Every structure is written in C-alpha cells, then in structure tokens.
Amino acid sequence: MTIHPTSVSEYLSTHKYPAKAHARAVAKHLSLTSGTIYLESQKSRLEEDKDQEAPFHQRRYFFYLSGCALPDCYLTYDVAKDFLTLYIPPINPEEVMWSGLPLDAEGAKNKFDIDSAKYSNELEADLKGEVLVIPGQVSESVTLLKDEGVTVKLSKDLKEAINECRVYKDDYEVALIKHANEISGSAHVALMKAAKTCKFEHELEGIFLENCIRRGARRQAYDSIIASGTNAATLHYIHNNQAFSDRLNILIDGGCEYDLYASDITRVFPLNGKFTKESREIYSLVLKMQIDALAMIKPGVLWDTIHETVHKILIQGFLDLGIFQNGTVDEILENRTSCAFLPHGLGHHMGMDTHDTGGHPNYSDPDPMYKYLRVRIPLKERAVITVEPGVYFCEFIIKPYLENPKHNKYINTEILDRYWAVGGVRIEDDVLVTKDGYENLTNVVKEIDDVEGTVNSTA
C-alpha cells in the first residue's frame, strides 16, 4: 500500500510496530519449527567517571522483534507456540521518586505487538528447552541460560536472519521512514531559506537540529554534514565550524531518526542564491546521474549495474565539459579514472540503521569502482535504498590520478582548475523499491530553479 504524507501520522497513531510479524519472518528464514528465540535490549549504563546515565540507543535486533525502545528488557519467542513475550524491568520505588512511574506490564501489553508482557524477574522460570541467542549479546549477569533444562545455542545465523529480514520494509516501517523524511525535508528547506542570514556552518547545523526537534525527532540518524565551499569535497566532513566567507556552495547531508528509523538526505545550494556557471554545470550533471539512476530502479536489477551506469554518465558529462579528453566513455570507465571524482558507492540500504543491513558489500574488492558499494545484490521489492550520486573535486584524492600516466592522459588540468571551488555536489534521496519501480520517500526541492528560488525566498 502507498501511505500518502498527509496520512502518515494518522497511520502511525492507529497501528503498532509489527514485532510479531518480524518474529515469524525470522523463524521462517531459519526454517525453525521449535525452540525459543531469546534477545536482550541494550542496557542502561552510567557515563565513565560520572553519576549520569549515558545516552541510550536501543539494540536494533531486539527492537526488530519487540518494537520496544526501553533499556534492560528481554524477549522470548516460542516458535512452536507462536508466542512472543516481552520482559520489562520491575518497578523500583527509588527510581519512581527520581524519574516517575515507568511503563508497567499491562501498559506494555497494550502498547506493543506482543502476546504477553511480564517483569524480568519472571524470565528464569519461563525459559526451557533449546534457546537461540546471538553470540556476544547475552549479559554476563544473566546466569539463567546456564540452568538445567535450558540448552543454549549460540547462533550467528540468528543475527544474519534478522539482517536479511530487515531488508523488507512493511507498511509501518515505510511510514516511519517517510515521517522521518518529512521532518528532515522541512529542516533542509529551512536551511536553504536561512543560508543568506548565516555566516558559519554551525549556525545552519543548529537550525537543522532545531527544526527536527520541534517536529518530534530528538535524535539524528547520523552526525550532520554541513560543508561549505571546498569542504564539500570531503565525503563525511564533520567539523561544521567554518565561516562561509566567499565560498560558493554548501552541501547539507542530514537526516533525523524517528522511532529508531532513519532518513538520509543530501542537498547542495548556492550560498548567495545563484549558482556560478561551473557549479551549475556540475549540479546539472549530478542531477542527471540521479534521475537516470532512479529510472532504472525495480526489483531484480543489479545495483552494480546502476552504479556503473552512473559512472558512464559522469564520464560523458566530463567529456562534454572538457574535463576528460583523449578517450571514449568505455576506455575511461575501464581505467577507472572516474573514481577520482566519484569514489563512493551510489547508495545503501536504509532502515533502523542509516547504512542498513543485507547489502552484502565487499570492501576487499580490488576494483575501486565497487569497493565502497554497500549493496552488491539485485534490488529487492520493499527494500529502502538511498540514491546519492556525487561529483567531488578533492585535491587529496585527485592528485595521485594526475600523477599517474594511466589516468592523467584523460584529464585536462587547465579546464579542471576552473572547478576546484565547486567543492563537491551530492544529491541524495531515499526510495522504496516497489513491484514495478520505486516510490521516492524524499520530497525536497532539487531542480536548479527551485533550489535557487528557495534560497532567495524570505518565507
């Protein structure tokens, strides 16, 4: 089903996170007919040398089968009985004094898609028979798994099964991602409109965070990248503290997290409201790379193929601009010279993690064009994937290519010199792979006229 933006909030408020369906899917993936799946939540802990709690972030494998973001919890899924039980911490009167009443068992049963809610001090009596656990995710303090009558099976397959199941996004998960995109998208537009009134990168970072928090997203899916001028040539620039001065453009890569589900959006816009000739040329090329990549998306298409097509478009664009010379698209592609300007992969799965599971990357691939491609499989229906082509003028990366006869014969350095100030351009959307193509979950202006118009807007 397609959930339109106007109905996302209503959908989330009237449905539960489908934990039971996820538990069944994992058991089916493992071909289980009996036994118990056992998972633990992340534990609450104090910061080192302090009496304050460290920021808490739920363990993804536990959340996938529970929908519960609370610390110090446990779950069991009895496969034969198809029975999912959540164990929450018992109420501690001293904690109530400081933090108020926590969720009780009755409230947990009503809130989550589970069959039963109990307190964690009841867990030991319930566990019997064969119990599947993820290695390294059982607390040292949990001794009940050593009891007689309990056979513990350390299962790497359990973790991998959850990883594979997470690729498929059901309607509730899509709604969460879409809502995160709505919030982040509004923040991106707010930055475009505020750019002319700001002088530093961190000012825009503050506006981005403010806009997300005001709309109910208190956590970011990753540290925002607010990269002005040539800083945008650094893929994961994180300093966010430089003055704009006379820099041309700014790259904003930011996305909030909503109920543990991520968004990941990148836009580039001119700080003065008008792209220079060179910036416009590179932006137009990257936009074409993305539009053509999007047109190829459908189930069964190998992500490698789309990634290669994007490189071909880059090469042809550089030949048209005169940055590349003395070769055909196929010759330059074969020599991998385009990797100097697009060193990363086209995109990655996204869900609970920004770089989500199930993509089967091969970081030891000797081919530089595929080494950092995070998805190496045919696209699957109901997967969410980012589409984020880019062009970067990073001296540190490009210089070795200029010194290598294999590559420098294809690069016109005189024309290249005109583009260093562009820095980097990346355009990134989050898309759902559908039966016949895709649904773009990101709705932020990206056509040149619309981008410039938004930057120049006072609304």
Q: How many residues appear in the chain? A: 459
Question: What is the pLDDT, as a whole number, of residue 8?
Answer: 84
Q: Are residues 223 and 247 in the same domain?
A: yes
Question: What is the pLDDT, as a whole number, of residue 145?
Answer: 61
| pTM (predicted TM-score) | 0.95
Per the structure, the count of domains in the chain is: 2
Q: How far apart are CA 20 and CA 345, in angstroms?
A: 34
CA separation (Å) from 368 to 289, 301, 371, 382?
19, 21, 5, 29
Token pair, residue 217, equals 């997203």
Q: Are residues 130 and 240 in the same domain?
A: no
190 occurs within a structural domain: yes
pLDDT in tens, 159-207: 999 999 999 999 999 999 999 999 999 999 999 999 999 999 999 999 9
Question: What is the pLDDT, as a whole number, of residue 94?
Answer: 85
Q: Are residues 125 and 266 in the same domain?
A: no
End-to-end CA distance of the chain: 34
Question: Could you tell me how far CA 54 lies from the centroid of its own chain?
Answer: 23
62 occurs within a structural domain: yes
Judge contact between 298 and 436, C-beta under 8 A: yes
Q: Are residues 277 and 364 in the same domain?
A: yes
Question: What is the pLDDT, as a whole number, of residue 150?
Answer: 86
Q: Are residues 160 and 180 in the same domain?
A: no
236 three-class SS: coil
Given a cut of 50, the residues of the chain with pLDDT beneath it are 3-5
Q: Are residues 107 and 232 in the same domain?
A: no
8 occurs within a structural domain: no
Beta strands of 28-95 (E only): which ranges?
A: 36-40, 74-78, 83-88
Question: What is the pLDDT, as a whole number, of residue 5?
Answer: 47
Examine the fold and report which residue of 141, 165, 189 is the final residue of a domain before the chain moves on: 165
Token pair, residue 116, equals 């039963």
Q: Are residues 158 and 227 in the same domain?
A: no
Q: Are residues 443 and 377 in the same domain?
A: yes
Q: Are residues 202 and 344 in the same domain?
A: yes
Q: Are residues 83 and 213 in the same domain?
A: no
Characterize 237-266 residue by residue with b for buried, 16 or more Cβ atoms within 10 angstroms of its Cβ, and e for exposed: beebebebeebbbbbbbbbbbbbbbbbbbb
DSSP assigned state of 281: H
Q: Are residues 278 and 416 in the same domain?
A: yes
Structural domain containing residue 56: 19-165
